[in-house]
Amino acid sequence: MCGDKFVNMRSLRIRISIELLFIALILPSTYLLEKVSREKGLELGTIIRVQDKLSGSLVSLMGVDVLKSLMHQQYPGDPGAKGPTLLYAIGALGLSGYKQVEVKGLKKGQLLMADQQSLNQSYVLAFNEHGTVDLIDLKSKGSPIVQDVSEINKIE
């Protein structure tokens, strides 16, 4: 009987050790996976970096799925909506007290610098066919101002 307790205790210790080792391997793996997927999303434009340029701090990372949710909040039940307005997205992100906003695309040189007075409801973060968003001006009906938006920055 005493031998059975010893065997049970030993097998219990082995199982606990294996489970602790399993946990010790899973935690770093999940952090690494999250980092790789975030970097890939930033690279592809499916995640938009929102920063405060004055303080140099990251305000948030916003995925395209969040923008779809914002579009449904701003235009509930509207099948013709192209995406949320830039002002709505900025407000939802909690950016306030800005005088200028900069919107950058994945391609070098594509950007919009706008002050608070020139931002209006016609600037829309429109979804495109490859899973990212373009900044368009509904009034001008032309090509996108910024293709594949990658950053929204508070300048002043």
Average the pLDDT over each of 69-73, 109-113, 130-134, 145-149 and give the range with the smallest value.
109-113
**Domain co-membership, 94 together with 137:** yes
Q: Is the pLDDT of residue 102 over 80?
A: yes
What confidence tens digit (pLDDT) does each residue in 18-46 have? 999 988 888 888 888 877 777 776 666 67
**Domain co-membership, 79 together with 89:** yes
In this structure, what are the phi and psi dihedrals at residue 69, rounded to the nearest 5 degrees? -65, -40
Confidence label for 63 from pLDDT (cuts 50, 70 and 90): confident
Could you tell me the residue range of the domain that residue 25 belongs to? Answer: 1-44
Average the pLDDT over each of 44-48, 85-89, 91-95, 120-124 and give the range with the smallest value.
44-48
Average pLDDT over residues 95-101: 82
Number of domains present in the structure of the chain: 2
**Domain co-membership, 64 together with 126:** yes
**Domain co-membership, 30 together with 96:** no
Contacts of residue 75, defined as CB under 8 A and 6 or more positions apart, other chains included, come to 81, 84
**Domain co-membership, 34 together with 57:** no
**Domain co-membership, 96 together with 133:** yes
**Domain co-membership, 32 together with 108:** no
**Domain co-membership, 52 together with 31:** no
pLDDT of residue 54: 79
Confidence label for 13 from pLDDT (cuts 50, 70 and 90): confident
Tokens read off for 17: 């050790």
Q: What is the reported pTM?
A: 0.72
**Domain co-membership, 75 together with 25:** no
For 12-49, give one letter per residue: b (16+ CB within 10 A) or e.
eeeeeeeeeeeeeeeeeeeeeeeeeeeeebbeebbbbb
**Domain co-membership, 37 together with 92:** no
**Domain co-membership, 131 together with 71:** yes
**Domain co-membership, 34 together with 84:** no
